[in-house]
Amino acid sequence: MENKKEMRTWLDDMKLDHPLVIAGPCSAETEEQVLKIAHQLKDTDVNYYRAGIWKPRTRPGNFEGVGALGLKWLQKVKEETGMKTCTEVANAAHVKLALEHDVDLLWIGARSTVSPFIMQEIADALEGTDKIVLVKNPVNPDLSLWLGGIERLYSAGIKNLGAIHRGFSTYEKSKYRNIPEWQLAIEFQNKFPDIPLINDPSHITGNRDMIFDVSQTALDLNFDGLMIETHFDPDNAWSDAAQQVTPESLVQIMTNLKIRKETD
Chain residues binding ligand PEP by CB under 6 A are: 26, 52, 109-111, 136, 166, 203
Q: Which does 136 bind (CB under 5 to 8 A by kind): Mn ion, ligand PEP, none?
A: ligand PEP
Provide the sign of the torsion angle of the four alpha carbons 113, 117, 121, 124, taken in this order.
positive
Question: Which of residues 54 and 154 has its CB atom nearest to ligand PEP in the complex?
Answer: 54
CB of 231 to ligand PEP, least distance (A): 12
Q: How far is the CB of 56 from ligand PEP (least distance, A)?
A: 7
The residue with its CB nearest to ligand PEP is: 109
The nearest distance, CB 17 to ligand PEP, in angstroms, is 26
Q: Are 221 and 212 in contact (CB under 8 A)?
A: no
Shortest distance, position 74 Cβ to Mn ion, whole Å: 16
Q: What is the rounded distance in angstroms from the CA atom of residue 94 to the CA atom of residue 99?
A: 8
Q: How big is the CA angle at 155 (ends 70 and 160), to the nearest 5 degrees?
A: 50
> Closest CB to Mn ion among 132 and 164?
164
Residue 70 site contact among ligand PEP, Mn ion, none (CB < 5 to 8 Å, cut-off depends on kind): none
DSSP 3-state helix, strand, coil percentages of the chain (rounded to 5)?
A: 45, 15, 40
Asked if 62 contacts 39 with a C-beta cutoff of 8 angstroms, the reply is no
Cβ of residue 52: shortest distance to ligand PEP, in angstroms?
5
Of 26 and 83, CB closest to Mn ion: 26
Residues that bind Mn ion (CB under 5 A): 26, 240
Q: Are 208 and 244 in contact (CB under 8 A)?
A: yes
Q: Residue 34: left (phi > 0), alpha (psi -120 to 50), or beta?
A: alpha
